[in-house]
Amino acid sequence: MSDANGSKPLRNAWRTFVIVVLAAIVVLLVGFYFLVLPGFSVARQEPSKVEVTIATFMLKHSVPGSDAAKVNPLNAHPDAANIRAGESLFVTNCSVCHGHDGGGRTELGNATFPRPPLLRTLVPQLSDGEIFYHIRNGIRNTAMPAWGFPDRQVWQLVTYLRHLPITVGPKPEDLSAQQTAAVNGAHYVGSKACQSCHQEVYARWAKTRMANVLRDPKVHPDAFAADPATAPPELRFNKDDVAFIYGSKWKQRYWKKSGDTYIVMPVQYNFETKKWSKFHVADNADWWAIHYPDPKGDNSTRPTAPLCDGCHSVNFNIDTKQPGTEWNVGCEQCHGAGSAHVANPIAATILNPARQNFVQANDTCIQCHSQGQPLTNPIKGQYYDWAVGYHAGLLLSDFWKLEPHKLGETTFTHFPDGTAHKNRMQGNDFVQSLMYNRGVTCFSCHDPHGTDNDAMLRKPASEICASCHSPNNLNGPHTATLEEHTHHKAGSPGSQCVACHMPKILPELPGGPFVSTHTFHFVSPQQTDAMKIPNACNACHKDKDTAWATKELASWKTVSPWRMQRESGEPASPAQPVIPASMQPAGAAPH
């Protein structure tokens, strides 16, 4: 009885305590409802110090260690093009909140809660991996979304943010204008003048084919791909007659001195077939051939000065018929005359193509990697096959026009659909592409300063496209997996993007080797039937015909049937395309 009586006051005490606590909670809730809740969701007020401290702690410690430890892979080869690309992404997608300078003082930034951080202060406190993580995954309960950019673009954003204090000073267009004015008022100094400050880049460039288009066999006797004595008797020549050797990948040709210029000997060596053959351009081939008739067939009436040398040298002088600066594609061919930069080595005194708009940036390469003609021809009595008068800092379209083509016709230079029909027409192809229209540049994929990859690609051909394209990415392919898009096993030749979108159909020499197109169009077997344009399927499956390829593609239910429609106007198969399960909305019935 005593225990029971003793527990009663205890129970009363607990009951009183619970009632008081509940009453306090009710009071707090009522107070919160009437005093705090009105305006609680308003984003206008500044967050309290407590909120900022908690949010900063969570931001710093919510990134998994393995992600925080990641290092920006673009740091391996610092490139202003990546900074420019990152800036473009930042301005388009981020500056509306963060401001162009990263200060966050924009109309939208001032109206979000919490406020965008001051990036110049925050970024140095974060690792590359942490910045990447937050861009990729977003930040909960803030206005920071999770971005679906490809990895390379996210790393370009990281690169730009690391250079934010440097790059946001002058606007890019202002700096580009300063650079253009500087090189247009400067004189050429030669690539050697760049070496002392740019040793790593210079060392890479010096090994490229750009830097070694022409080689003097007296200085580089190893430049001969094969001994001329092994050529057929009618093609043999004396090594001592060779002034320059041209080419080291597809073909090799040999120049000899002729008066104040050079001519190309009527012989060439094919690296792929390891065979010698005659070299002579027929009068009905290149446009210029009829202006340089060559009845002997030995190229003796076809000088290199008007037909070649402007693209194989820097600052070529058409009066002296010699380079004003140096043979081969030197630094100033792309960056402009460098004397102002040597005297004052700052960003504003030399042209960086990555700072130009995408048209002028691409023209840096198109000036030589295209088939066309000068706007004015002849020039001083001779017909030229390169953009006389153009140099970095000017507008190529003021000096050069691309080779015209009439759709539906197969010519020496074009297939019926306008795709290039020969090599050295990458520019003609590229300007037709969606890539070009989206602002992609040649050096988005190629590094003209040199890499260990084929064609100076920034990544191997099997990887470079994935820098911007990945399954279910906005840029495509719009499938759950790469295999679902390619219908080939991962890692197989047919699974490579370039196999279908950049097929090797352009003959470098009659019968091959063949080089890749740069339109990025998929050529269907039906186009082959209708217009005799080679397609990627039969380029690999040489034992099959177009009927087989057409049937195979018809079974690819991830591809629109309209893309496979015959050029002749024959309607596509009435069968409805099957949407893969991975692409169907939840609960949708398969169809």
Instruction: Map out the domains of the chain as residue ranges.
Output: 49-169, 181-354, 356-521
Measured CA distances, 18 to 11, 14, 53 (Å): 11, 6, 34
pLDDT at residue 80, rounded to an integer: 79
pLDDT at residue 4, rounded to an integer: 54
CB 135 within 8 A of CB 154: yes
pLDDT at residue 115, rounded to an integer: 80
CA angle 203, 77, 85 (to 5 degrees): 130
Distance between CA 237 and CA 395 in Å, rounded? 42
Q: Which of 42-46, 248-252, 300-304 has the lowest mean pLDDT?
A: 42-46
pLDDT band at 168 (very low <50, low <70, confident <90, very high): very low
Cut 0.75: pTM above it: no
pLDDT at residue 32, rounded to an integer: 56
Say if residue 213's pLDDT is above 60.
Answer: yes
pLDDT at residue 1, rounded to an integer: 45
Q: Could you tell me the two tokens for 253? A: 């040709």
Q: What is the mean pLDDT of residues 49-55?
A: 73
User: Which residues make Cβ contacts (< 8 Å) with residue 298, sequence separation at least 6?
Assistant: 265, 266, 280
Judge residue 483's burial from the number of C-beta atoms within 10 Å of its C-beta, 0-12 exposed, 13-18 middle, 19 or more buried. middle
pLDDT at residue 53, rounded to an integer: 75
Say if residue 170's pLDDT is above 50.
Answer: no
Q: What is the mean pLDDT of residues 76-92?
A: 83
Say if residue 10's pLDDT is above 80.
Answer: no
Percent of the chain with pLDDT over 70: 89
pLDDT at residue 558, rounded to an integer: 83
Give one DSSP letter per residue of 358-380, joined into a string: HHHHHHHHHTTSS-EEESS-SBT
In terms of pLDDT, which residue wins out, 283 or 43?
283
| Residues composing the chain | 591
Beta strand pairing status for 400-402 and 313-317? unpaired
- Backbone φ, ψ for residue 548 (5° rounding): -65, -45
pLDDT band at 575 (very low <50, low <70, confident <90, very high): very low
Say if residue 553's pLDDT is above 60.
Answer: yes
pLDDT band at 3 (very low <50, low <70, confident <90, very high): low
Taken in order 178, 179, 184, 187, the sign of the CA dihedral is positive
Measured CA distances, 98 to 32, 82, 85, 91, 243 (Å): 33, 20, 17, 9, 59
Give me the helices (H) in 283-375, please: 304-307, 331-335, 339-343, 358-366
Continuous segment of H or E residues that includes residue 400:
strand 400-402
Judge residue 192's burial from the number of C-beta atoms within 10 Å of its C-beta, 0-12 exposed, 13-18 middle, 19 or more buried. exposed
| 219: nearest Cα among 194, 244, 253, 187 | 244
pLDDT at residue 471, rounded to an integer: 87
Distance between CA 579 and CA 583 in Å, rounded? 6
pLDDT tens digit string along 347-356? 999 999 988 9
Say if residue 589's pLDDT is above 70.
Answer: no
CB 357 within 8 A of CB 340: no
Distance between CA 357 and CA 91 in Å, rounded? 15
Distance between CA 29 and CA 38 in Å, rounded? 13
Rg for the chain (alpha carbons), in Å? 32
Say if residue 154's pLDDT is above 80.
Answer: yes
Q: What is the mean pLDDT of residues 391-416?
A: 94
Say if residue 550's pLDDT is above 50.
Answer: yes
What mean pLDDT, rounded, does the chain reach?
A: 87
Give one DSSP letter per residue of 168-224, joined into a string: TSS-HHHHHHHHHHHHHT-----THHHHTT-HHHHHHHHTSSGGGSEE-TTT-GGG-
Q: Which of 254-258, 363-367, 523-527, 563-567 has the lowest mean pLDDT?
A: 563-567
pLDDT at residue 468, rounded to an integer: 87
Distance between CA 541 and CA 536 in Å, rounded? 9
The CATH superfamily assigned to 49-169 is Cytochrome c-like domain (1.10.760.10)
Q: Which of 58-72, 214-228, 381-395 has the lowest mean pLDDT?
A: 58-72
Distance between CA 552 and CA 540 in Å, rounded? 14
Q: Which of 185-199, 439-453, 563-577 has the lowest mean pLDDT?
A: 563-577
pLDDT at residue 41, rounded to an integer: 55
Percent of the chain with pLDDT over 90: 61
pLDDT at residue 446, rounded to an integer: 96
pLDDT tens digit string along 478-498? 898 999 999 999 989 999 999
In terms of pLDDT, which residue wins out, 43 or 540?
540
pLDDT at residue 105, rounded to an integer: 74
pLDDT at residue 434, rounded to an integer: 93
Distance between CA 237 and CA 224 in Å, rounded? 12
Q: For 217-321, where are the E strands, in sequence order? A: 244-246, 251-258, 261-270, 275-278, 313-317
Say if residue 194's pLDDT is above 90.
Answer: yes
Say if residue 69's pLDDT is above 70.
Answer: yes
pLDDT at residue 116, rounded to an integer: 84
Say if residue 583's pLDDT is above 70.
Answer: no
